[in-house]
Structure 1
Amino acid sequence: MKGHGRSYGAISVMNAIPCGIGSTIGIELTTDVEFSDSDTTTITLVDRPDVDTKLVRTCVKRTLESIDQEPIDYSLKVISEIPPSIGLKSSSSVCNATISAVLDALGERMEMLDVIRLGVRCARECNVTVTGSFDDACGCEYGGLVITDNKNDDIINRMRIPEYDVIICLPGSPPKEKIPKEKYTVLSDMFQAMIPSIESDYLNVLTENGRYIGRIIGDTSDLAKSALKAGALAAGVSGTGPAIAALTEKGKGKEIADRFCSNYILTRTR
């Protein structure tokens, strides 16, 4: 038996840590997972030899349990375009794709929202997220603009948006340090005030969110300001950084990126 699962990356519009409400926009960077039964369990994270396999092992285990399947030995391969641990929702994407691959291999079906919630539980179990990242997981799977209540793992709204080019600027920062949740939650009122504007003014919310989060994590790169000056429609820290995400009009991404960033990934919204 063989199965395949695919998910995508996403960028932050509003970080969910401060007040529990989060928002993301899906991007076209992919994660693919191949799963098959085997005589021994082997896990391959392509081009990521130093990344812990605990998250994917937990996703496989909990998926098998959810469909009343006995534990099995398996071969699993993860191939991802999403750089890990920089704020592009790589863990959520891996969870979604891994669970989908296991289900596909076993001929089982599960509602996508249930797949997402199962992945969120696995991420919490493995301590790779502060909030559970329900907003991230929904953004990876559904694309478009997603607004969620991460305290209850509920979707508040989903909507399609115009297609934008997305510049992911990689500032070359060292691995991010874990910042206490309290550093974020002191800004709860400021983030609550942005919630009503997400649907109608998500570009501005993305930029404002990036400014607030940048202060918390100590981002002094000024890349977001440079992106806006270069012609980006919105720019700011994604997740808890250090990546800076900038949205531009379709077709203008490379031209704008070359004006302000020497190390970047160019993709699109989805």
Structure 2
Amino acid sequence: MRGKATAPAAGTIINALATGHGSAFAIQESITATVELDAEQDSVSGTITEDPSADTALIERCVSMVTDRYGGGEGGTVQTESEIPLAAGLKSSSAAANATILATLSALGKADEVDRTTACKIGVAAARDVGVTITGAFDDASASMLGGVTVTDNSSDSLLRQDTFEYDALVWTPPERAYSADADVDRCKQIAPIVKTATRLAKNGQYTEAMNVNGLAYSTALQFPTEPALEALPHVAGVSLSGTGPSVVAIGNQESLKEVKHMWDIRDGKTWLTTTQNSGAQTI
């Protein structure tokens, strides 16, 4: 029993740490998961190709939750391959969970029987179980699974809004890494009044405006530099710290983003052009 699936990365509109409400959008870079199940095994072994020493608890838990619910508790192996920098604020954990969930369902022959929102919530539950998320990250996971842009209430795992999202995108990822579970929640809660304003904008479909407000507020709260966003603001539709950092993502038209890229390229790290993605996670 073998299955394979891919799920995209995502950028942030609203980080849910301050209020429990979040919003994110899918981008083209993705993670691919390959799952092989064996009814003779009762445990799951995972491998992350880019970092064999990395913690595989999340992807292993995803396989187990799916086989317990939709199969016969089979064990086996799961391997992920990623185009997404890990621990960079680009939702690599959510994408890995989504890809693993769909690959496991495919291995069981159940990929067409489980709707994508339900599949996404399994990954969110797995992420909470293994402690890689504070909010449950339903905003990030739903954008990766469903594609386009989503707005969510992470306290109840409710999807409040979903739209297609058509932009070119620019990503800057510095060398540093930041893990969501290590974020300073108390500092984030101090900016809740500002984030509530951004959330109202997102709920009304004013995503770029919400993104700009969110980015400056969270960069300050999480003590990341605001200069990349300030450089981009005159040229782009929206720019924000993505997740709990350290990546910064801007959206707009390609020509304007190229101007910003010239400014961001002088910084340490990697800067690349991409696009938003509306198809979400897929079996292969």
| TM-score (norm. length: structure 2) | 0.88
Alignment match of 2:249 (pick from 245, 251, 255): 245
Q: Deviations over 1:140-193 (max 9, x none)?
A: 0122221101110010011123x2111110122354582332221222222222
Bigger mean CA offset, 164-173 vs 203-212: 164-173
- Match for residue 7 of structure 2? 7
User: Is contact 1:206–1:234 with CA below 8 Å preserved after alignment?
Assistant: yes
Distance (whole Å) between structure 2 residues aligned to residue 137 and residue 9 of structure 1: 9
Determine what percentage of the aligned residue pairs are the same residue: 28
Bigger mean CA offset, 215-224 vs 98-107: 215-224
CA pair 155-255 structure 1, distance change in 2 beyond 3 A: same
Query: C-alpha displacement at 1:97, in angstroms?
Result: 0.6
Are 1:266 and 2:266 matched, yes or no?
no
> Which aligned pairs between 1:17-32 and structure 2 lie closer than 5 A?
17-32=17-32
CA pair 142-174 structure 1, distance change in 2 beyond 3 A: closer
Query: C-alpha displacement at 1:68, in angstroms?
Result: 4.3
Secondary structure of 1:36's partner?
A: strand
Are 1:218 and 2:218 matched, yes or no?
no
| AA partner of residue 97 (structure 1) | A
Secondary structure of 2:88's partner?
A: coil
- Match for residue 133 of structure 1? 137
CA pair 100-200 structure 1, distance change in 2 beyond 3 A: closer
Alignment match of 2:209 (pick from 204, 207, 213): 204
Alignment match of 2:168 (pick from 165, 171, 177): 165
Secondary structure of 1:78's partner?
A: strand
Secondary structure of 1:138's partner?
A: helix
> Which aligned pairs between 1:1-270 and structure 2 lie closer than 5 A?
1-37=1-37, 42-72=45-75, 74-108=76-110, 109-161=113-165, 163-175=166-178, 178-198=182-202, 199-220=204-225, 222-229=227-234, 231-250=235-254, 252-262=256-266, 263-270=270-277
| AA partner of residue 268 (structure 1) | T
Bigger mean CA offset, 29-38 vs 252-261: 252-261
User: Is contact 1:232–1:247 with CA below 8 Å preserved after alignment?
Assistant: yes
| AA partner of residue 230 (structure 2) | K
User: Is contact 1:176–1:242 with CA below 8 Å preserved after alignment?
Assistant: no
Distance (whole Å) between structure 1 residues aligned to residue 51 and residue 45 of structure 2: 15
| AA partner of residue 2 (structure 2) | K
Query: C-alpha displacement at 1:88, in angstroms?
Result: 0.6
Secondary structure of 1:152's partner?
A: coil
Where in structure 1 do 4 or more consecutive aligned residues deviate above 4 Å? 38-42, 174-177
User: Is contact 1:171–1:221 with CA below 8 Å preserved after alignment?
Assistant: no
Distance (whole Å) between structure 1 residues aligned to residue 255 and residue 3 of structure 2: 35
Query: C-alpha displacement at 1:221, in angstroms?
Result: 5.5
Distance (whole Å) between structure 2 residues aligned to residue 21 and residue 174 of structure 1: 24
| AA partner of residue 37 (structure 2) | D
| TM-score (norm. length: structure 1) | 0.92
Distance (whole Å) between structure 1 residues aligned to residue 22 and residue 226 of structure 2: 24
Query: C-alpha displacement at 1:45, in angstroms?
Result: 1.2
Distance (whole Å) between structure 2 residues aligned to residue 7 and residue 174 of structure 1: 21
Distance (whole Å) between structure 2 residues aligned to residue 143 and residue 174 of structure 1: 25
User: Is contact 2:220–2:226 with CA below 8 Å preserved after alignment?
Assistant: no
Residue segments in structure 2 that go unaligned for 5+ positions in a row:
278-284
